[in-house]
Amino acid sequence: MSTTIAARSRAASVQLIVAGVLWGTGGLAGSVLSERAGLSSPAVAVCRLSLGGAFALLLLGCTGRLRALPRTREAVRRVLVAGALLACYQACYFAAVTLTSVSVATMTTIGSVPVFVAVAGAVRERRLPDPVTTTSIGCAVVGLVLLTASPGELSGGAGFVLGLACAVASGAGFATLTLVTRTPVEGLDPLRTTAFGCLVGAFLLAPLLTVSPVSVPSWQLDVLAVALYLGAVPTALAYLAYFRGAGALASGGGRDVRVAGTVDGSRVGRTSARRRPRLRRMVRSGVAAGCPGRG
């Protein structure tokens, strides 16, 4: 029995790691799409979620699983909550990027997610986090501080403080998504959650296009290929792997930190796409990304 549980736990952890790696490529793809197609950040987010939801929906149709969709209140509530959280944390993240910088917003969001998850787990279980969880969070936060503490990166002012608040709110949104999706809903598997959650998130983010400059993209072959990749691989496949792994991990504590420490790989990729990688930053990235997955 214990061997089976351990095997399932390892498989779930692998799925979460795969999701994090795929999200990392999504950051690079999103940056390329923004530059080549001239899309704003909200437009890229809407494109990513809508295409990701469409690909997942297509897979549901090909496997004949659209005919048996759950229509219970619990399933509808889960899809709406997942979509709202997907839209919320992405909108907050983009606001943080505008008010601060890509690196500061990225690292603040990543660093806040495991803290929120660990604190929520401690409150729910009415006990302090175990030493493995505390050590993992400490290593992750130290690595992230090293990544962001570069000369000239930080600047004062109310706008900067507001940007940090938006980044923390983004981390709180994804931490909430992590906790909400831990409890399975009958008839609502990870693929359905991915499909309809992404579509709901794209629908909720669409109004942002009316308040941000949107240019008509030049849909050349390379731009179309990047857009399709962004929707299929780091969105549809990545969220499918994430929801499967997060749902399989029913225990709290350190395993929840693994989820939180891995899920924001896309933001590291987005930062790397805009900055020339250096050996020092790569080593420090290993500190930040490696510690949460250990234990």
Task: State pLDDT tens for residues 195-213.
Answer: 999 999 999 999 888 876 6
Q: In 10 A of CB 228, how many CB atoms?
A: 13
> What's the pLDDT score for residue 12?
82
CA distances 83 to 76, 152, 173, 192, 201, Å, are 11, 36, 11, 12, 4
pLDDT digits (tens, 9 = 90+) for 14-23: 888 888 778 7
Which residue carries 């993992």 as its tokens?
Answer: 136
Share of the chain above pLDDT 70, in %: 74
Interatomic CA distance for residues 115 and 17, integer angstroms: 19
CA atoms within 13 A on the CB side of 168: 8
Tokens of 35: 């530059």
Q: What is the pLDDT of residue 217?
A: 60
**Which candidate, 110, 75, 23, places its Cα nearest to that of 185?**
75
Whole-number Å distance between alpha carbons of 129 and 253: 6
Mean pLDDT for the chain overall: 75
Provide the residue ranges of all domains of the chain, joining segments of one domain with +. 2-293
Element (DSSP H or E) covering residue 112 = helix 102-125
Cα separation values, 74 from 81, 127, 281, Å: 10, 29, 44
pLDDT tens digit sequence for 236-294: 998 888 888 877 765 443 444 344 443 444 344 434 434 444 434 433 443 344 343 33
Six-digit token string for 60: 């549901």
| Average pLDDT estimate for 35-55 | 87
For the CA atoms of 114, 118, 121, 123, the dihedral, rounded to the nearest 10 degrees, stands at -130
CA pair distance 256, 182, nearest whole angstrom: 10
Q: Can you read off the two tokens belonging to residue 99?
A: 């008010």
Work out the percent of the chain whose per-residue pLDDT is above 90: 17
pLDDT at 58 over 90: yes
CA distances (Å), 31 to each of 26, 104, 205, in order? 8, 17, 18
Comparing 132 with 233, which gets the higher pLDDT? Answer: 233
Instruction: Check residues 244 and 176 and name the one with the higher pLDDT.
Output: 176
Q: How far does Cα 98 stand from its chain's mean position?
A: 19
pLDDT at residue 34 is higher than 60: yes
Q: How confident is the model at residue 295 (pLDDT cuts 50, 70, 90)?
A: very low
Reduced to 3 states, what is the DSSP secondary structure of residue 188?
A: strand
